[in-house]
Structure 1
Amino acid sequence: MTDKFPIEQVIQTLKDDLPTLFEKDISYDIYTQNIYFQDPVNKFKYKFNYRIIFWTLRFHAKLFFTQIAFDVHEVYQAAEDTIIAKWTVRGVLRVPWQAKIFFNGYSTYKLNANNLIYEHIDTWDRKPGEILRQFVQKGDK
């Protein structure tokens, strides 16, 4: 694509897509083919793999949770080539003791000259092991 995306459109697409990422697919028009993604447990490159991670999130959300939400608190331009999205994941695990999952994080999106996202780095407020430990706690904690 040679046309430059307006940054407002990229921000609006993120605002529209992120809250429902556990329910339906996102729009991939705002990402480059060689998008790089990293979070505390995954690291990969290319749009095909990026699509798979979102499919996997939806699949596991339906399989393992009775309730799951991705609450977006804000999405804003932090620098000329950077967008930040602050969010919370919360849910109830599909187990008899109704364990709850809850963690905060933020996504840093880097933009190329055409305002397409070429890098997406997620930062969580706790380690993956701490999040997994929530699965064995009773839901009232």
Structure 2
Amino acid sequence: MGDAIRKLREELPVVFYREPSFDIYRDDIVFKDPLNNFKGIGNYKRIFQALQFTGQIIFKAVWIDIVNIWQPVDNIITIRWTVYGIPRVPWEGNGRFDGTSEYKLDKNGKIYEHKVGNIVRNSPTKFKLLPVVELIRSLGCPSTPKPMYFETSSCLSLMQWRHFG
């Protein structure tokens, strides 16, 4: 089990760029996610190839952060992960997916089932990092002076009209 945990911890963050080693999986592995069920190591390998292909087409950069790894019961490894991606679009943007992977291991320490779940797209971040310009604006200090006497307020004009009208 230690070998499986070590390899998952090392290989999962770079799975969009490098094929993982498949020696920790059984040939009859079952993969499950909310939409799919696949069986067999050949199909499992194709899942990673598809991830790499779509990841490189859709994103300029894409990576996985492992948030937590734990063993809720014997022979099960659970990983909470976050996938970050910067899409290939002309405007600024990014994507985020949070989820879990549950791996079931046999008595020999080989993974025979991988189940993905709890997927949340663009979940809120705990802390938002702002560029310096946005940080200054959020503090109420515009970066360039803006004379107030050039602005007119329709509300003020209406109030003045009622008062003097």
Shorter-chain TM-score tier:
0.7 to 0.9
1:42 aligns with 2:45: no
Could you tell me which amino acid in structure 1 is paired with residue 112 of structure 2?
A: Y
Q: Which residue of 1 aligns with 2:76?
A: 82
Q: State the 1:22 CA deviation.
A: 0.6
Provide the alpha-carbon RMSD of the alignment.
Answer: 1.6
1:32 aligns with 2:22: no
Percent of paired sites with the same residue: 37
Aligned mates of 1:111, 1:81 — CA distance in 2? 5
Q: Write out per-residue CA displacement over residues 21-71 of structure 1, whole angstroms, 9 at most, x where no aligned residue.
A: 011000100101010001123221100000000011011111110111111
Please give the secondary structure, in 2, of the residue aligned with 1:51. Answer: helix
Q: Aligned match of 1:109 in 94, 103, 111?
A: 103
Could you tell me which amino acid in structure 1 is paired with residue 47 of structure 2?
A: I
Q: Gapped runs of 5+ residues in structure 2?
A: 123-165
- Structure showing the higher strand proportion among its residues: 1
Q: State the 1:98 CA deviation.
A: 3.7
Q: 1:39 to 1:98 in 2, by over 3 A?
A: farther
- Length, aligned pairs only: 123
Q: Which residue of 2 aligns with 1:136?
A: none
Q: State the 1:97 CA deviation.
A: 2.2
Higher relative contact order (CA 8 A, sep 6+): 1
Aligned mates of 2:105, 2:119 — CA distance in 1? 24
Greater Cα radius of gyration, structure 1 or 2: 2
Contact 1:110/1:117 (8 A) holds in 2: yes
Q: Gapped runs of 5+ residues in structure 1?
A: 1-6, 132-141
